[in-house]
């Protein structure tokens, strides 16, 4: 079968491939600690599951409007208005099966062939994949370890050309766990306004903050009318498998993005939307409890990794990932990750899975129990000691 040329430009998300490899090893009898996949290990809170099953038992089994059920759009608008302190109404909101489709649809809807898109690198791999897929030009915005894995704003300013159509930001960041400062956000906002650039603000980890308050780029003048906020329920409410997320966008984008929903998945399952409504309306205690537990685990993994010769690890301020530098071991990050899985029994991702500037780093997710994290740390230490080349 000869595939369309564009398929050669579509990348992937390595986490899913490593998960398959790790599962295969497990099927062969090997014990593997999973620190590769980015999802909370908690179950969805019971009140949300109940709302979903109640909806299924009460007729929410049909097609619905492509942009989402009106009640959910309204409730999301209220929530976003409060958490970002901006005016938002239901007709700014498009509900999708996961937050990821917002990436897909926004880039499809906004980026023309030859348009340049500035995106974080290391960063979520789907940004670069989608920019290339639509024929855009990916322009990496390096996140520097020396700047706590944030961008150099002057460097971003230098990358802007008349062809720059979009800037993507992701704070808190996957894979680095970094959080942009208010000053950095303001500087990017100023550039976007000055050069008339659309911003895709991936705020999926907004609740996973270990210090400080959440800041959105939409707080700056001129930004709500040029920003697409990507958010969802997967991480905040441990609902990864339900597939529900949303975009909040300027009104002129709502119809085109909804049309992309109609053309692809038609709509998001109604019962899942009812469960999401309960997520927003019900107690937030379990969701916040999860963040407290992640903070405890972060402290364990950061301390443990920094105690291993050849590895240094910054303290992430948000999300649930650490991005340690392993160059001191003398191994390449690719080799380290591959062999750590095969020989050491710990699944992790090589930093280059997040772009060229990820080379030399590994990403571990700490969305696993403290006990498993400690087990993994023991294995990483043994592996690193036995294989250190420096
Ligand atoms: N954005 C980032 C940075 C992510 O890490 C993820 C998931 O890993 C998503 C968006 C998409 O999440 P979902 O489609 O499950 O809502």
pLDDT tens track for 158-190: 999 999 999 999 999 999 999 999 999 999 999
pLDDT band at 390 (very low <50, low <70, confident <90, very high): low
Q: Is the CB of 202 under 6 A from ligand 1?
A: yes
Q: How many CA atoms lie within 13 A of 216 on its CB side?
A: 28
| pLDDT(39) > 90 | no
In this structure, the number of other CB atoms found within 10 A of the CB of residue 254 comes to 19
Predicted TM-score (pTM) of the model is 0.96
| pLDDT(389) > 80 | no
* CA–CA gap between residue 352 and residue 355 (Å, rounded): 5
Domains of the chain: 5-44+285-384 (3.90.1150.10), 62-281 (3.40.640.10)
Single out the residue of 98, 111, 93, 321 nearest to residue 199, CA to CA.
Answer: 111
How far, in Å, is the centroid of ligand 1 from the Cα of 99? 6
How far, in Å, is the centroid of ligand 1 from the Cα of 16? 13
Nearest ligand 1 atom, CA 174: 3
Q: Is the CB of 100 under 6 A from ligand 1?
A: yes
* CA–CA gap between residue 236 and residue 247 (Å, rounded): 15
Nearest ligand 1 atom, CA 124: 3
DSSP 112: P
pLDDT band at 16 (very low <50, low <70, confident <90, very high): confident
| pLDDT(56) > 90 | yes
| pLDDT(237) > 80 | yes
**CB proximity list for 113: less than 8 A, separation 6 or greater:** 134, 135, 136
């Amino acid at each position: 079968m000869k595939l369309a040329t564009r398929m050669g430009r579509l990348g992937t998300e390595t986490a899913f491939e490593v998960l398959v490899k790790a599962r295969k090893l497990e099927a062969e009898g090997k014990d593997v600690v999973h620190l590769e996949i980015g999802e909370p290990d908690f179950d969805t809170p019971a009140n949300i599951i109940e709302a979903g099953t109640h909806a299924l038992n009460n007729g929410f089994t049909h097609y619905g409007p492509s942009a989402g059920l009106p009640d959910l759009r309204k409730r999301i608008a209220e929530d976003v208005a409060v958490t970002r302190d901006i005016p938002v109404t239901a007709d700014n909101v498009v509900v999708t099966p996961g937050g990821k489709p917002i990436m897909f649809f926004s880039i499809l809807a906004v980026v023309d062939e030859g348009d340049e898109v500035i995106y974080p690198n290391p960063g979520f791999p789907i940004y670069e994949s989608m920019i290339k897929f639509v024929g855009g030009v990916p322009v990496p915005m390096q996140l520097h370890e020396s700047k706590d894995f944030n961008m150099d704003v002057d460097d971003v300013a230098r990358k802007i050309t008349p062809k720059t159509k979009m800037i993507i930001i992701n704070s808190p960041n996957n894979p680095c766990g970094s959080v942009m400062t208010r000053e950095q956000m303001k500087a990017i906002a100023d550039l976007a306004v000055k050069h008339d650039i659309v911003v895709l603000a991936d705020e999926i980890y907004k609740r996973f903050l270990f210090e400080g308050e959440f800041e959105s780029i939409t707080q700056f003048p001129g930004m709500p009318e040029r920003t697409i906020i990507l958010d969802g329920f997967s991480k905040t409410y441990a609902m990864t498998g339900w597939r529900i997320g949303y975009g909040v966008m300027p009104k002129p984008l709502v119809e085109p993005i909804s049309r992309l929903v109609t053309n692809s998945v038609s709509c998001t399952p109604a019962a899942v939307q009812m469960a999401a409504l309960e997520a927003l309306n019900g107690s937030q205690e379990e969701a916040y409890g999860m963040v407290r537990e992640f903070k405890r685990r972060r402290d364990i993994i950061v301390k443990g990794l920094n105690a291993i010769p050849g590895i240094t690890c910054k303290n992430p301020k948000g999300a649930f990932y650490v991005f340690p530098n392993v160059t001191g071991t003398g191994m390449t990050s690719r080799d380290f990750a591959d062999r750590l899985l095969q020989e050491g029994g710990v699944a992790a991702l090589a930093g280059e899975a997040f772009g060229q500037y990820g080379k030399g780093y590994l990403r571990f997710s700490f969305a696993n129990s403290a006990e498993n994290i400690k087990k993994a740390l023991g294995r990483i230490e043994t592996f690193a000691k036995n294989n250190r080349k420096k």
